[in-house]
Structure 1
Amino acid sequence: MELFSKIKSRMHAGKPSMSSSVLHSAANSDRKVFAHYMVGITYGQTQAQWGHDVNTAKEAGIDGFALNIGPSDHYTDIQLQQAYTAAEKAGNFVLFLSFDMAAGEWPVSRVVSLINHFKESSAQMTVHGTPFVSTFEGPGWAENWFSVRMQTGGIFLVPDWSSLGPYGVGEKLDLIDGAFSWDAWPKPGQTRVASTEDLIYKHTLNGKKYMMGVSPYFYTKLPQWNKNWYCPSDSLWYDRWQQVLEIMPDFVEIITWNDYGESSYICDTVPAQVVEGADKYVSDYPHAAFRAVLPYLIAAYKAGSTQIDYLGEDTAIAWYRTTPAMAGEDGDTKCGQGGSESAAEGTKDVVSVMAITKGSTSVTVAIGGHEKVFRTKSQIPISYFEMPFDCNMTGLVTLEMNGKTTRGPWITNKCCDGQVNFNSVAIQV
């Protein structure tokens, strides 16, 4: 039985600020939700852009950014300072350093210097008074953390060593204070994401903190980095949050805020951040609508129970590809990293819909002249629906609920350069 069928909704009318009223029932929770922010694509970024990102994330109920940094970008220090300044100014928004160990070799002195420089910031995420620190990979660097702890006066280390798997991480518990899992997408051969590894992590960590990765989507096609795969994402945003509310990890990290190259972004698109090659599948493919459901989901997670008050208006989002999977060549895109089957075989031609409603209401999806009406149930405030389409069913996409209508990009049979774009667009009503 799905978790959301158990939710006892006590929703009321009105439209409060997402950053305060919606989250009131979870204000004292130790659970936090972060978003993974790629600092390496922020060359020349302004203070104003950092301020916009921080405030936009706050409005969605996100508590802070995990600042992913590499060892060689000369602009890292400038951008980190701007990020911390923006977070300090906004208030009630935290940051922590996430050292990308797959991007190059990190000198211990550099890691120590960065932690010490920012640890006194009012925006620094701390646990038990020590700065929270994470990584992307780096199990081979593990023994260096002893020295880092000594030279910084202590850290709270929650690395992502997903390459080891949960059992491998369990063999290094003396080095860490918790673990972060990057396992947020279906594996090759799977059509929906599983929570098996999350449960193993929680057991293996033996009481240490667990940070669970959650993502809305995945598609990458960057030949210069030998990256060309899609992970089934038709119901991913819904499925993964349902698993969060079942597992109730200590922390959640949304993967990602702004990784356009992997189509996992939920931010307002910033063209200057889009890496070369990704513009072909990111331009005109907004993902900001994924954030619309976050205030409710985060409030439920922080409360540790789905029995919470939600003071917002009914909302619905939809995400979909703008061409059928067989409308063009697959571009040799595989289904899953290391997968062998075509991405076209691992996805469905559907408009995916996630709705949050106070009671029973109708949600209408239309593609050209084809229309389908879904009905939410008063006992189930979070609903998920799919409207199939194919090469004979194209046209303008509309999403309607409670008298409000949003128009999305057309579904067509025309593919750029004859190849299918496996990224999605997201819209909200």
Structure 2
Amino acid sequence: MLLRALLPLAGLFAQMAAAADKKVFAHYIVGLTSGQTRDQWQLDISQAKASGIDGFALNVGAQDSYNSAQLPLAYDVASANGFSVFLSFDMAASSWSADQISSYINQYKGYGSQFKLNGLPVVSTFEGPSQSGIWPGVRSATGGIFFIPDWASLGAQGVGAQSSLIDGAFNWGAWPDANQYTMSTGNDVAYKSVLNGKPYMMGVSPYFYTDLPQYNKNWYSSSDSLWFDRWKQVLDIKPEYVEIITWNDFGESSYINAPVSAQIVSGAQSYVNGFDHTAFRFVLPYFINAYKTGNSNVNPPSQGAVVWYRTTPASVCSNGGTVWGQGGSASAASGTKDVVNIIALTNSATNINIKIGSGDAGQSVSATSTVGKASFYQVPINGRTGAVTVTVNGKSTTGPSISNSCPSTGHVNFNSVSFQV
């Protein structure tokens, strides 16, 4: 009888241990923080922690003199809040030497907030496979690191060929490819295979749109259902770690908070200001708990929904040269639908009600896809204009208006607004 009673407890303890090992991070662009105050770090970290995020991957560029002021703030505030951070060296936008990297690691590895695995500081990158040969020297100069780079440009097989240099891998691929409306898990499966048991950090993102001619960047990756699709895929793939891309990259519209004016890169204001993404975080406590416990039927902390959509039709005027997906050639207008997208968290399946404009009587809509307690809804706009009102289980919220007028820029803004019900 005693053995029988202990077996379920053993299973519970094993599940708790597995959940404790899994972590969710958000990619934070330190290169946007010149002059940033401690209060802003406190706000970002407290909001991230409240959403269930375990830490920030701090993207740092070699050229930024203010790293010396901002990184101590980030590490110190994180330590005070029981939050984890680790360095992610941006090796696509800047040139790092082994000595520079080693110096940064040695300077910050002693902080209580430094994320460690096997007692070693975790270190990541954004790209940099052409400099792969520097890392043995970095390990030696720092007393050891746990290295989880993003070398996605090599592809999964190429990353696997570098197995002797790495302790795991981060896959930046979190968006559909050019000319693809949704993404599959084929690349994730390939990474898991080539890593042969080493930790896989899976990239997850809510959105992507950038229009920054000074950087030769002008594309939109299909994002109508991406936030739901990708979290559903996390529950299927069961990676050791998840990295949300991003917390604050406003210029690429992948952020999950309200725009911070001081962090918006020049030229992005026209498609970022007024386009709040805070509501994307509403579903995080549920999805993160489901991921960590391996149980999609955990009850959500609160019932409601996140709603996101573009505020103008995709073909209302010029696309501004925006193409469909990185490296694509088709118009971005072909890669999105004029729809309102919704993820509802409810303890039992339910229809939702949506109204667009004051003359709309509203329509009851059923889910197109469900995983656990999360259901996805997609409602065609069908030429309607005006404010969007969504009702879930008797609770209603009204979001920004949809217009048939061309934005003041003279071209479509492919970024989305969001709101929470």
TM-score w.r.t. the length of structure 2 is 0.93
1:403 partner letter? G
Q: Contact between 2:300 and 2:373, CA under 8 Å: does it hold in 1?
A: no
**Match of residue 5 from structure 2:** none
Q: Contact between 1:26 and 1:302, CA under 8 Å: does it hold in 2?
A: no
Aligned partners of 1:379 and 1:148: how far apart in 2?
43
SS state at 2:21 partner: coil
Q: Contact between 1:217 and 1:237, CA under 8 Å: does it hold in 2?
A: yes
Displacement of 1:379 in angstroms is 9.1
In the superposition, relative to structure 1, how do residues 127 and 379 fare at CA in structure 2: closer, same or farther (>3 Å)?
closer
**Match of residue 79 from structure 1:** 70
**Match of residue 125 from structure 2:** 135
In the superposition, relative to structure 1, how do residues 378 and 257 fare at CA in structure 2: closer, same or farther (>3 Å)?
closer
User: Paired residue for 1:333, among 322, 341, 355?
Assistant: 322
Aligned partners of 1:256 and 1:26: how far apart in 2?
27
Aligned partners of 1:380 and 1:296: how far apart in 2?
10
1:395 partner letter? G
**Match of residue 154 from structure 2:** 164
Q: Contact between 1:359 and 1:379, CA under 8 Å: does it hold in 2?
A: no
- Kindly report which structure 2 residues correspond to 1:280-359, keeping only aligned pairs within 5 A, or say none: 280-308=270-298, 310=299, 312-359=301-348
Is residue 424 of structure 1 aligned with residue 413 of structure 2? Answer: no
In the superposition, relative to structure 1, how do residues 28 and 195 fare at CA in structure 2: closer, same or farther (>3 Å)?
closer
Q: Contact between 1:359 and 1:378, CA under 8 Å: does it hold in 2?
A: no
**Match of residue 180 from structure 1:** 170
1:212 partner letter? M
Aligned partners of 1:42 and 1:257: how far apart in 2?
13
**Match of residue 136 from structure 2:** 146
Q: Contact between 2:311 and 2:417, CA under 8 Å: does it hold in 1?
A: yes
Aligned partners of 1:75 and 1:313: how far apart in 2?
40
**Match of residue 373 from structure 1:** 364
- Kindly report which structure 2 residues correspond to 1:28-427, keeping only aligned pairs within 5 A, or say none: 28-91=19-82, 93-308=83-298, 310=299, 312-368=301-357, 369-370=359-360, 371-375=362-366, 380-390=372-382, 392-416=383-407, 417-427=409-419
If asked which structure has higher relative contact order (CA below 8 Å, sep 6+), I would say: 1
Aligned partners of 1:361 and 1:383: how far apart in 2?
9
Displacement of 1:267 in angstroms is 2.0
Q: Contact between 2:220 and 2:322, CA under 8 Å: does it hold in 1?
A: yes
Q: Contact between 1:135 and 1:160, CA under 8 Å: does it hold in 2?
A: yes
SS state at 1:188 partner: coil
Displacement of 1:403 in angstroms is 2.7
Pick which of 401-410 and 246-255 moved more: 401-410
Aligned partners of 2:39 and 2:229: how far apart in 1?
34
Q: Contact between 2:206 and 2:226, CA under 8 Å: does it hold in 1?
A: yes
Aligned length: 403
Moved over 3 A (4+): 24-28, 375-380
TM-score w.r.t. the length of structure 1 is 0.91
Q: Contact between 2:286 and 2:300, CA under 8 Å: does it hold in 1?
A: no
In the superposition, relative to structure 1, how do residues 407 and 225 fare at CA in structure 2: closer, same or farther (>3 Å)?
same
Q: Contact between 1:255 and 1:264, CA under 8 Å: does it hold in 2?
A: yes
Q: Contact between 1:26 and 1:303, CA under 8 Å: does it hold in 2?
A: no
Aligned partners of 1:125 and 1:287: how far apart in 2?
27
Pick which of 58-67 and 184-193 moved more: 184-193
Displacement of 1:361 in angstroms is 3.3
In the superposition, relative to structure 1, how do residues 102 and 380 fare at CA in structure 2: closer, same or farther (>3 Å)?
closer
Pick which of 403-412 and 179-188 moved more: 403-412
Of all paired residues, the percent bearing the same amino acid is 54
Pick which of 376-385 and 403-412 moved more: 376-385
Q: Superposition RMSD on alpha carbons, in Å? A: 1.6
Displacement of 1:215 in angstroms is 0.2
Pick which of 105-114 and 374-383 moved more: 374-383
Gaps of 5+ in 1: 1-23
